[in-house]
């Protein structure tokens, strides 16, 4: 049974006043076409009854006696920020929230949820990847459809909803859990000024800067944190912005096997860029030993001048070198044209409600989902940690405390951006990290690497039963 949850318009005024996190519009995505409509408030008078509506008491939500089970894998400051949101909701409604920590290994966490879905034992609310990865949980069978909630399209950015909706049925399965991550080049502004370097707008200009750094200093031009699987993929996956800019249907065409990867010169340039860093000696001597933390530390103290990363590097920098955060700048991964620059983004992971949630918990769970999309919930989050990306919510802006590099990255999101390919294409072989690491250390040429990627992807598509493969 699906109940329509009360809109928070009459109760959010009970919370603390707004902070810098809340504003008049979203910095990354304009409100959807229906965002300006006012959601109806279902009160006893509106429903034609003088009795209190279920879950409402004296004009406020009352879910005393209800306990929600929530599962996620987020730890550290961001995990603490999520807990602050839960604490605020508990105080507001009287419910209790019990948190289960899933494995920090994303594949293991997904597998755990898949097993629990198969046995009908999903948590009331749980974390999930989105886009093509969402299909692993068979959302039509296992995730509650939020499309009937008045607030979903008013509060959540349409670009995010596109990735968590069923195009055929219109079902909406998720809301954003944390913030987006923008990929690009982070650089030490002091060293750039010292060497009189200009921000490169093409790859050739970027290589020229690297050569100056290599020949005129003892610094590493580009720190390459390839010990981490994510770090070894960032530059290559970021190239997808230019692939998408050239052909917005590229992911669909590849999924339908209408094109191949090696035939796209723009796609191949991602591998050639990795090869340039290796063959020209612009990266760390032993990149497979470099962690994100070392990369951030070297960037902050000037031992390295640039690194390709995502905006969450700023959270690492704030821990390892808090006094140097404002010494770091950002620019997009350059390509061939100075006039056509942009960034690729990693969208926030999601909160989902289990499709088979107990009926007595349903209204409380949906009320929490709505609350998590409001400025008041974001205020609670921002009181614990400074976000490094956009929340993908309408009518919520970033706080003044965000670093200038992260703000520059978000400005590029507004100007020219797309999500990385894996959000719109379910085909991604399990050996991508290994193949890229071999390319990044000279064991594979770009041509050898793409052959291995295409073979690996074909295996993945066949295992998933993708039509035409």
Span 164-200, pLDDT tens digits? 999 899 999 999 999 999 999 999 999 999 999 999 9
Residue 26 lies in a domain: no
CA 270/CA 383 separation, integer angstroms = 38
82 and 147 assigned to the same domain: yes
**Any idea what the Cα angle at residue 437 is, between residues 435 and 440, rounded to 5°?**
115
- Asked whether residue 357 falls in the same domain as residue 222, the answer is no
Q: Note whether residue 288 is domain-resident.
A: yes
Decide if 146 contacts 438 (C-beta within 8 A).
no
Residues of the chain with pLDDT > 90, as a percent, come to 77
d(CA 18, CA 375): 7
State pLDDT tens for residues 132-162.
Answer: 778 889 999 999 999 999 999 999 998 899 9
CATH code, domain with 193 = 3.40.190.10
Residue 51: inside a domain, yes or no?
no
Q: Which is nearest to 386 in space by CA: 19, 10, 4? A: 19
In a domain, 6, yes or no: no
Structural tokens at position 160:
């995010």
In a domain, 274, yes or no: yes
If asked whether residues 366 and 452 sit together in one domain, one would say no
Of residues 275 and 390, the one with the higher pLDDT is 275
Q: How far apart are CA 333 and CA 216, in angstroms?
A: 23
- What 3-state class would DSSP assign to 185? strand
Domain co-membership, 455 together with 323: yes
Same domain, 384 and 432: no
Query: Among 19-28, 358-367, 374-383, which stretch is predicted with the lowest mean pLDDT?
Result: 19-28
How many angstroms separate the CA atoms of 395 and 27, rounded?
9
Structural domains in the chain (count)? 2
199 with 232, same domain: the answer is yes
Based on the fold, state whether residues 72 and 163 are members of the same structural domain: yes
Whether residues 301 and 196 fall in one domain:
yes
- What is the extent of the structural domain holding 169? 67-179+347-395
Residue 24 predicted with pLDDT over 60: no
Residues 301 and 127: their CA atoms lie apart, in Å, by: 36
Low-confidence winner among 39-53, 215-229, 314-328 (lowest mean pLDDT): 39-53
Q: Could you tell me if 77 and 315 are in contact, meaning their C-beta atoms sit under 8 angstroms apart? A: yes
Residue 172 is assigned to a structural domain of this protein: yes
Domain co-membership, 80 together with 228: no
Instruction: Give the per-residue pLDDT at 131.
Output: 82
Q: What is the spatial distance between Cα 234 and Cα 231, in angstroms, rounded to a whole number?
A: 6
Average pLDDT, the chain: 88
Sequence-distant (6+) residues with CB within 8 A of 212 are 195, 197
pLDDT, average across residues 399-417: 91
Measured distance CA(126)–CA(357) in Å, rounded: 12
pLDDT at 245 over 50: yes
Which phi and psi (to 5°) does residue 171 adopt?
Answer: -60, 140
Kindly state whether residues 186 and 130 are assigned to the same domain: no
Q: Give the phi and the psi of residue 23 in degrees, each rounded to 5.
A: -150, -165
Give the list of residues 6+ apart from residue 408 with CB closer than 8 angstroms, or none.
329, 330, 331
Closest CA to 12 of 155, 182, 148: 155
For residues 300 and 434, state if they share a domain: yes
How many beta carbons lie within 10 A of that of residue 27, not counting itself?
Answer: 16
Residues 202, 215, single domain; the answer is: yes
Domain annotation covers residue 384:
yes
Measured CA angle at 56 (ends 53, 61), to 5 deg: 150
Classify residue 387: in a domain, yes or no: yes
Determine which helix (DSSP H) or strand (DSSP E) holds 305, and give its type and residue range.
strand 304-310
């Amino acid at each position: 049974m699906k109940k329509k949850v009360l809109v928070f318009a009459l109760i959010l005024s009970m919370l603390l006043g707004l902070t810098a996190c809340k504003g008049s519009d979203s910095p990354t995505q304009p409100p959807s076409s229906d965002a300006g409509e006012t959601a109806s408030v279902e009160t006893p008078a509106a429903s034609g009854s003088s009795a209190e509506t279920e879950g409402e008491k004296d004009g406020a939500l009352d879910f005393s006696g209800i306990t929600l089970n929530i599962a996620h894998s987020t730890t550290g400051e961001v995990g603490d920020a999520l807990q602050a949101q839960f604490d605020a909701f508990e105080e507001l409604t009287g419910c209790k929230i019990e948190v289960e920590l899933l494995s920090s290994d994303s594949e293991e966490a997904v597998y755990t949820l898949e097993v629990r879905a198969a046995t009908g034992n999903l948590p009331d609310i749980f974390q999930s990847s989105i886009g093509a990865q969402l299909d692993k949980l068979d959302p039509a069978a296992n995730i509650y459809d939020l499309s009937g909630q008045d607030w979903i399209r008013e509060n959540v950015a349409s670009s995010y909803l596109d990735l968590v909706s069923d195009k055929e049925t219109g079902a909406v399965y998720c809301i954003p859990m944390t913030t987006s991550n923008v990929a690009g080049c982070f650089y030490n502004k002091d060293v750039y000024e010292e060497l009189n370097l200009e921000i490169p707008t093409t790859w050739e200009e970027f290589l020229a800067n690297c050569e100056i750094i290599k020949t005129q200093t003892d610094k590493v031009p580009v720190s390459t944190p390839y010990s981490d699987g994510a770090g070894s993929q960032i530059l290559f996956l970021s190239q997808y912005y230019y692939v998408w800019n050239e052909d917005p249907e590229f992911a669909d065409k590849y999924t339908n096997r209408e094109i191949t990867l090696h035939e796209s010169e723009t796609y191949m340039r991602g591998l050639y860029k990795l090869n340039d860093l290796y063959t020209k000696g612009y990266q760390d001597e032993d990149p497979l030993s470099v962690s994100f933390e070392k990369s951030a530390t070297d960037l902050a103290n000037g031992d390295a001048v640039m690194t390709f990363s995502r905006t969450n590097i700023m959270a690492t920098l704030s821990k390892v070198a808090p006094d140097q955060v404002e010494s770091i700048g950002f620019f997009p991964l350059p390509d061939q044209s100075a006039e056509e620059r942009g960034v690729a983004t990693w969208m926030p992971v999601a909160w989902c409600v289990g499709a088979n949630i107990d009926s007595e918990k349903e209204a409380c769970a949906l009320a929490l989902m709505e609350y998590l999309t409001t400025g008041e919930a974001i205020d609670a989050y921002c009181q614990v940690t400074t976000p490094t990306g956009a929340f993908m919510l309408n009518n919520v802006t970033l706080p003044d405390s965000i670093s200038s590099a992260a703000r520059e990255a978000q400005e590029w999101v507004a100007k020219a951006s797309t999500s990385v390919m894996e959000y719109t294409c379910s085909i991604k072989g399990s050996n991508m990290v290994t193949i890229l690491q071999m390319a990044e250390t000279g064991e594979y040429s770009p041509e050898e690497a793409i052959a291995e990627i295409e073979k690996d992807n074909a295996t993945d598509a066949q295992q998933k039963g993708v039509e035409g493969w």
